[in-house]
Structure 1
Amino acid sequence: MKHDLVVLVPGIMGTALTRGGADLWDLTPEAMGGLLRPGRTREALELPRGIGDDDPEPPHALELGRTVHGARILPGLVSTTRSPDLRGLLGIEPERFAEFRYDWRLSNRNSARKLAVFVEERLTRWRETADRQLFPRAGEAKVVFLCRSMGGLVVRYYTEVLGGWEQTRSVATLGTPFSGSVKALRFLTGQVEWVPSPFREGIREVCSTFPSVGQLLPTYRVVVDRQQGRSPLRGRSVEGVDTRTVDDSFAFFREVQDAVAESDALHSRRRRTLIALGGDKHRTDQALSFAAGGRPVFHQDFADSGDPEDRVLPLFGDGTVAHIAQTPPEWPDTGRTVWLDSRHADLVNSDHALKQLRRVCDGLEPAGVLSVGEPVGCEFPDFARAGEPFEVWATNADAALRLRVRRLGEDGTPVVDEAMRHCGGGDFRAELRAEPGRWTLEVYSTARRYSCRDVLLVV
């Protein structure tokens, strides 16, 4: 409703974490060195092992800086492209728009408790101070949440486990891993693609101390076996991952699902509106099996499952979160999710996503499937070395699209623009090089309205 308070909740890397005014998690090529060298910088980046749901003490405690609207990347796990002025594009008045800033390294339970305090203060202020001539119903206002990626898990814990649904009108999520992400397990086992050692190990060692990353481990039936079909990860020993991390991820998601089931039974599913938006065109880790010693082997389909029904499950995703995991598990199928063409990093920039979010903020029903209909999937590297070649691929593409790829600077200015070469079937490829920096890569069509973007870090 147009009298409700709108709250933006970002995901990983969405809040600047600072010390002495320095943004420590702005991972430029220069800053990557801090992950590799023992010392005060690395000590500040990581958390004490076993911190659980608590707050860190110095030297691990960091201050909250601004909400990040520029491009960011945590190589091997997640990236975000430059964000628009969401409030302005959605036509929301400044006084009824708020951004929740939080330490995204910490447990999602911890962040949800802080969100509860934030909502209580901001919603009370809005109800009491809103201009009654402009907002005559502000006294009965609730919250509309706009959530990016992991931010949706923070909001979900707040609304369902902490009872925040009573103050909530609606929740819109963009690429939220409602059942976790296989990519998070690849990240924590040090098997990330593109990122070479020692950067890979430095990132893994630091981020394995983050409860929030552990709570992204997949909880759907993700393990495929040629005899047994599919089974969950719980109870298995995974090389490189503490068993307690796996247990905590399952406990977190189970808390949420139990609370959803109880509240739905007592108060009906209409107690608040939930709209999930996701990407479904891009090759994405879907499943895994185990080699000797508990080392996971990752799959982009369910072909190794012994259950024939598993082999026809929806494939692809947004490049970070699988199709199946972007839908709340209490929904009977993925048909209610609003599917977009964008990758995880760029979902919020989709014209279709913005139209949907505008409807949410205006209290209107979801508009249904918003894909433009192009089946194109894109594959971008996270990481490259300066001066060395890297590849960008487009799949399921039609030659009539006349695809090109360009490299954009921090301000969005194109630096390099090249045609993609046809490699047979629906595959197109381009080979590029870049100087050190953080770049946005964009595959786009010169014949139709199509583009797809992600972020690259070059060192």
Structure 2
Amino acid sequence: MSNTADRPWPDNLRPGLKVTRDAIVVVPGIMGSELFDAETGKTLWGLRKSAWYVRAWGRGDGLEALALTDDELSGKIGRVRAGDLLRFPAIVPILSGIEPYTKLSKALSQVVSHPDAVLGFGYDWRLPVAFNARLLAKAAADHLEKWRLRSGFEDAQLLLVAHSMGGLLCQAIPEDSGLEDVTRAVVTLGTPFGGAAKAALLLNSGLGAPLPAGRLRRLVATMPGIHALLPSYRCVDDGADARRLTPADVGAIGGSPQLAADAFATRDAARPLVNHRALIGVRQPTLSALTIDSGVVTAQPYTFVPEPDGELARRANGLLHKVHGEGDGTVPRDSARPDSGAPMPLAQQHGQLARSPEAIDFVRDIVTNIEADLGPKLGVGDGIGLSAPDFAVPGTPWIVDVTGVIGRAKYSITDLDARKVIVRQRLRRVGDGYAVSVVLPSPGLYRLSVAGGGFSPVTRLVLAIGPQDS
């Protein structure tokens, strides 16, 4: 016998697909947005043909326009315009390949009330995280307001889905934006909360790239967005100890000390994400530590082990305890791990974390179930409420009112002096709740316990005192 229905459902009884009434904003990672020349409309980043990347990273053709000018570094923004989320694969030396966001966006459009509920937030990823975070806050607020008006869902909230550096933007959203009050949850995919050692390697030498190292260094050294990915965890191996990278280190290896200081300050000021759910890449060999010798950076395939007190673990001979660095191939596991809550691990490369079927299923499940996950379980009400006095007269009946119970409910009374249950029976329903008449047999201390609906029992102590004892 089949468990599926053979006959079609009548329209008024047809089960609906599980969708969210909320508005969604997809925030891509670094180099995950198309960029255009604002005056000519020429595409600067995000072209479809791979031949462009061959020319760009092989000979440097077309890269000059991506470098920040002195005007842009001083805050005069507008020469470059951000477009849609990346629609075609792209690749960056050292940071590796970047997959398009079309699959993720399409999957999300299938679990909302209307595709208009999904906004792809393209941004100029060359610029500072704090600057782009302000733009994100405004774009998200405008998107939510328009979605509420269009849908009629006045109680709709925001769901932010961020890949890689996009999570750093979410962390840097200004507190006075008010966005925290209307955000249901934030989902991050491979966000480098603590940075990535590869960013330092990219600023220093460009080793591993066919592009001449000097040209690559000059390009990325102008970009606050690259500096935003610098590691802030203890990654510099000095031999006897490990320490954090400093702005002075960054200047010595070819980056900008000021851009590094600004990036570290933004990270230090980051605020906790609302109902954060994190997916992190694991099982991929990941460069996680650095050695610096006369201004030359070497990325190392190992990391260090912190003790419970925060000190780094050492071997019996006093040397630092090192273990193989793992993560998503770009972001070390520990860097992607949120400050609180257990992340969801996925054996996958960084660029694929927003595209793989497992990652998309993870995001879809949160989007469609986060409101339920934050609320009561099916069959569970708002919680058991118990109304009973602190004192009672032995032999005199009194009423206990119970609310919030779904399904079978029962109560018990325990004589704490005798250490035995003297009453155990079901509650009777009275209107929307339950009520029971209780009589305590003699002076003493009793525990009244009510259970039902999947909750732990709610208990209350009652002291029975005779008139002669008062």
Q: Which residue of 1 aligns with 2:262?
A: 248
Identify which of 95, 104, 108 aligns with 1:86: 104
1:31 positional shift: 5.5
CA-CA distance at 1:70 after TM superposition: 1.6
Q: Judging changes above 3 Å, is the alpha-carbon distance between structure 1 residues 167 and 365 closer, same or farther for their aligned structure 2 residues?
A: closer
CA positional deviation for 1:353: 1.2
Contact residue 128 and residue 263 of structure 2 kept, 8 A: no
Aligned to 2:51: 29
Which residue in the other structure is 2:94 paired with? Answer: 76
Q: Which residue of 2 aligns with 1:297?
A: 298
Residue deviations 1:171-224, cap 9 Å, x none?
Answer: 11111110111111110112432x1342x4323321221111111100011112
1:156 aligns with 2:174: no
Say which SS state the counterpart of residue 177 (structure 1) adopts.
coil
- Partner letter of residue 69 of structure 1? R
Conserved? CA contact 2:126–2:223, under 8 Å: yes
| 1:2 pairs with one of 20, 37, 45 | 20
**Structure-to-structure mapping, 1:175-190, within 5 angstroms:** 175-190=190-205
Question: Does 118-127 or 304-313 show the bigger shift?
Answer: 304-313
SS in 2 for 1:290: strand
Deviations along 1:10-44, whole A, 9 cap, x unmatched? 112221111334321236434654678899x5442
Q: Is the 8 A contact 1:318 1:343 kept in 2?
A: yes
1:57-107, Cα deviation, whole Å (9 max, x unpaired): 5xxx12233221221112222422244432432423302111111111111
Unmatched segments (≥5 aa) in structure 1:
133-137, 261-270, 368-459
- 2-side partners of 1:304 and 1:172: how far apart? 27
Contact 2:186 2:275 in 1 (8 A): yes
Which of 311, 330, 341 is equivalent to 1:320? 330
Aligned residue identity for 1:63: R
Q: Give the structure 2 partner of residue 221 of structure 1.
A: 234
Distance in structure 2 (CA, Å) of the matches to 1:151 and 1:53:
23
TM-score using structure 2 length: 0.65
User: How far, CA to CA, are the matches of 2:266 and 2:356 in structure 1?
Assistant: 30
Alpha-carbon distance, 1:313 to partner: 5.8
Aligned-partner residue type, residue 199 of structure 2: A
| 1:354-405 per-position Cα deviation (integer Å, ceiling 9, x unaligned) | 12101211133899xxxxxxxxxxxxxxxxxxxxxxxxxxxxxxxxxxxxxx
Select 1:95's aligned residue among 81, 98, 116.
116
2:158 alignment partner in structure 1: 143
**Where do 1:125-136 residues align within 5 Å?**
125-130=146-151, 132=152
Change in CA separation of 1:43 and 1:89 when aligned onto 2, cut-off 3 Å: closer
Identify the residue that residue 352 of structure 2 maps to in structure 1.
346
Q: Quick check: 1:104 aligned with 2:107?
A: no
1:121–1:365 Cα change, 3 Å: closer
Alignment partner of 1:348: what SS? Answer: coil
Alignment of 1:121 with 2:134, yes or no, is no
Q: CA deviation at 1:164?
A: 2.6
Instruction: Give 1:374-393 correspondences, 5 Å limit.
Output: none
13, 20, 32: which is aligned to 1:14? 32
Specify whether residues 127 and 325 from structure 1 end up closer, same or farther in structure 2 by C-alpha distance, changes over 3 A only: same
The answer to whether the 8 A contact 1:23-1:65 is kept is no
State the distance in 2 between where 1:159 and 1:312 align.
Answer: 38
Moved over 6 A (4+): 35-39, 303-306
Offset at residue 143 of structure 1 (A):
0.7
Q: Are 1:196 and 2:196 matched, yes or no?
A: no
Aligned mates of 2:186, 2:368 — CA distance in 1: 13
Structure scoring higher RCO (CA < 8 A, sep ≥ 6) equals 1
Find the residue that maps to 1:252 and give its secondary structure: helix
For 2:68 and 2:33, the matched residues in 1 are separated by 17
SS class of match (1:359): helix
**Paired residue secondary structure (2:354):** helix
Q: Distance in 1 between matches of 2:349 and 2:175?
A: 28
Gaps of 5+ in 2: 1-18, 307-311, 374-470
* C-alpha distance in structure 2 between counterparts of 1:341 and 1:84, whole Å: 21
Distance 1:212 1:301 in 2: 25
| CA shift in 2, pair 1:167/1:366, >3 Å | closer
Per-residue CA deviation, residues 421-452 of structure 1 (Å, 9 max, x unaligned), is xxxxxxxxxxxxxxxxxxxxxxxxxxxxxxxx
Structure having the higher Rg: 2
Aligned residue-pair number = 337
- The answer for the alignment partner of 1:426 in structure 2 is none
Separation in structure 1 between the aligned mates of residue 64 and residue 366 of structure 2, nearest angstrom: 41
CA drift of 1:49 comes to 4.5
Check 1:75–1:197 CA distance in 2 against 1; reply closer, same or farther (3 A cut): closer
Mapped pair 1:233 → 2:245: yes
1:117-172 Cα distance to aligned partner (Å, 9 max, x none): 11121111111220x4xxxxx21111101111111111111166855322211111
**What CA deviation, in whole Å up to 9, does each residue of 1:261-303 have, x standing for no partner?**
xxxxxxxxxx821011111111111111222x23222211137
Equivalent residue, structure 2, for 1:372: none
Structure 2 CA distance, aligned partners of 1:140 and 1:54?
A: 37
Give the secondary-structure state (helix, strand or coil) at the position aligned to 1:192: coil
